[in-house]
């Protein structure tokens, strides 16, 4: 009762803005600096071809397919990592990555890597980067998240688009693995042929990077 | 008095009785007339009954081309091609399809290997699985569904410039605001 009286007249916490938080109630929406740039780049293209390296998410499909008119290819690399980890065949992952993609050279306008590179060793990361550079059209965009601190056991995350400026980070089923740090110079070297068009260091120590093919 | 009321009550529920009860005071029609008027007075349930759904059971295996003009639910196995251009195709939880699918609308609860084309919507429900390319103006994928392939939601005859103009504006404004914010934070 007394606490109610004391609380009376104080400023109440603001309700979350519609569409940014609390739709599912399981994870808050996290602002992204790279996503708006990536979307703006894609929306300049006519019927862009987009590769998503994360697991399929209905709202992302709706966002890119219906709103941006993308032709979307789901290439769930998290599932591949999960399968190879469980099977103890992670050493064969680089070869599997090379054989995986059916896309021709310079045939893709945008690639959503999310944080996939954090979970790859150097050989697999280089193999994937080579494939990305091969598949990307001139002017095409890549968005990737890179951690700044190594983590021994990190759970997999899937990224759900809430709106043009924010994402919801949701846990994804699969064995936890180590997260490796790729230095900026390593990233630039790996993606030879691409230029870093934007790079943002978030408060979470995640680097959101946008790369563009020359 | 109570007994008499119970005797008047029909045994079946009122909604399920197909024959109409004639109005009080009107002469009872001839038997033929009742037969002809019955569908008219119960036109709505009849219309509902006309739109039947055919069910292919768990144990049925079809190899070849399957086409028709009725809604279809498949719980069995189909290898080949399925064409229901004007109707809804439902792949049940036990359904296993290895086929090219063409339908007005496709609901997937089972497994599909092959390309799926729908003129209205493809709906992959929880535990549904698709390995193939989807082409439909609307695609819904539930949490827990499996999908590997491509999704093309371009509508035939749609004007992409009109539909994209709003999102382009929103995207460019979002980029501008984030760019400004980034500039401030840098």
Decide if B12 is inside a domain: no
Q: Are A70 and B147 in contact (CB under 8 A)?
A: no
Model ipTM over 0.90: no
CA distance B5 to B10: 10
Euclidean distance between CA atoms B92 and B73, whole angstroms: 6
Contact of A53 with A113, CB cutoff 8 Å: yes
Domain assignment present for residue B163? The answer is no
The pLDDT tens digits for A182-199 are: 999 999 999 999 999 999
Give the whole-angstrom CA distance, residue A53 versus residue A135. Answer: 13
Indicate whether A169 pLDDT > 60: yes
Identify whether B6 is part of a domain.
no
Please tell me the predicted confidence (pLDDT) of residue A198: 95
- CA angle, residues A146, A149, A153, in degrees to nearest 5: 95
DSSP-H helix ranges across chain A: 2-7, 34-43, 58-62, 77-87, 93-100, 122-135, 184-190
Q: Which residues of B53-78 are buried (b: 16+ CB within 10 A; e: fewer)?
A: eeebeeeeebeeebeeeebbbbbbbb
- Cβ-based contacts of A68 with chain B (< 8 Å): 164, 167, 171
Q: Cβ A72–B146 below 8 Å, yes or no?
A: no
A62 pLDDT band, cuts 50/70/90, is: very high
CATH of domain A23-213: 3.40.50.150
Q: What percentage of residues in chain A have a pLDDT greater than 90?
A: 70
Mean pLDDT of A118-135: 96
The rounded percent of chain A whose pLDDT value lies above 70 is 88
Domain residue limits, chain A: 23-213
Which residues, 6+ apart, have CB-to-CB distance to B80 below 8 Å?
A: B62, B63, B64, B65, B66, B98, B99
Domain presence at residue B157: no
DSSP output for B140-177? EE-TT-EEEEEEE-PPTT--HHHHHHHHHHHHHHHHHH
Interface of A with B in 56-95 (CB under 8 A): 56-58, 61-62, 65-69, 71-76
Residue at B183 is within a domain: no
Whether pLDDT at A60 is above 60: yes
**Total count of domains within chain B:** 1
Give the number of other CB atoms < 10 A from CB of residue B2: 6
A12 has a pLDDT exceeding 50: no
Find, in chain B, the residue whose alpha carbon is nearest to that of A60. Answer: B141
On whether residue B8 sits in a domain, the answer given is: no
Domain with B106, as residue range(s), is 53-147
Chain B residues close to A198, C-beta within 8 Å: 182
pLDDT of residue A85: 87
pLDDT at B43: 38
Angstrom CA distances, B48 to A65, B35, B103, stand at 34, 19, 21
- Examine residue B108 and state whether it is found in any structural domain, yes or no: yes
**Would an 8 Å CB–CB cutoff place B149 in contact with chain A?**
yes
Residue B10 lies in a domain: no
Task: Name the residue facing B141 among A58, A164, A200 (closest C-beta).
Answer: A58
Reply yes or no on whether the pLDDT at B46 is more than 90: no
Is the Cβ of B121 closer than 8 Å to some Cβ of chain A? no
Tell me whether B145 touches chain A (CB under 8 Å). yes
Residue holding tokens 């699985």? Answer: B129
Nearest to B139 among A40, A42, A65 (CB): A65
pLDDT tens per residue across span B106-158: 999 999 999 999 999 999 999 999 999 999 999 999 988 999 999 999 754 44
CB contact under 8 A, A58 and B140: yes
Residue A79 has pLDDT above 70, yes or no: yes
Mutation site for B-interface testing, chosen from A165, A167, A204, A208 by largest number of B Cβ within 10 Å: A165
């Amino acid at each position: 009762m007394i606490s109610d009286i004391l609380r009376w007249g104080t400023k109440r916490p603001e309700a979350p803005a519609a569409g940014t938080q609390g739709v599912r109630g399981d994870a808050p929406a996290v602002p992204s600096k790279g996503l708006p740039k990536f979307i703006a780049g894609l929306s300049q293209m006519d019927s862009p071809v987009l590769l998503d390296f994360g697991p399929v998410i209905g709202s992302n499909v709706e966002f890119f397919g219906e709103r941006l008119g993308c032709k979307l290819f789901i290439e769930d690399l998290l599932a591949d990592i999960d399968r190879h980890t469980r099977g103890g065949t992670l050493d064969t992952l680089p070869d599997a990555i090379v054989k995986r993609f059916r896309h021709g050279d310079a045939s893709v306008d945008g690639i959503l890597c999310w944080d996939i590179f954090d979970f790859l060793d150097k050989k697999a990361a280089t193999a994937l980067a080579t494939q990305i550079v091969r598949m990307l059209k001139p002017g095409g965009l890549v968005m990737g998240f890179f951690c700044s601190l190594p983590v021994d056991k990190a759970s997999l995350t899937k990224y759900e688009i809430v709106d043009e400026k924010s994402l919801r980070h949701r846990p994804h089923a699969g064995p936890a693995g180590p997260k490796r740090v790729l230095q900026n110079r390593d990233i630039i070297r790996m993606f030879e042929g691409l230029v870093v068009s934007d790079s943002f260091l978030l408060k979470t120590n995640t680097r959101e990077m946008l790369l563009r093919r020359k | 008095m109570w007994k008499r009321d119970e005797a008047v009550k029909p045994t079946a529920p009122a909604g399920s009785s197909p024959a109409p009860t004639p109005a009080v005071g009107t002469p009872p029609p001839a038997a033929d007339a009742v037969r002809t008027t019955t569908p008219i007075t119960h036109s709505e349930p009849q219309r509902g009954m006309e739109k039947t759904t055919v069910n292919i059971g768990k144990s049925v295996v079809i190899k070849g081309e399957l086409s028709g003009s009725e809604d279809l639910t498949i719980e069995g196995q189909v290898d080949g091609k399925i064409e229901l251009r004007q109707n809804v195709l439902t792949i049940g939880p036990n359904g296993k399809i290895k086929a090219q699918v063409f339908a007005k609308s496709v609901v997937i609860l089972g497994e599909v290997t092959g390309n799926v084309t729908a003129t209205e919507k493809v709906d992959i429900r929880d535990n549904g699985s698709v390995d193939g390319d989807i082409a439909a103006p609307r695609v819904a994928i539930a949490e827990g569904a499996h999908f590997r392939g491509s999704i093309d939601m371009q509508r035939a005859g749609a004007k992409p410039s009109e539909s994209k103009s709003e999102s382009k504006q929103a995207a460019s404004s979002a980029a501008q605001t984030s760019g400004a914010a980034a500039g401030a934070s840098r």
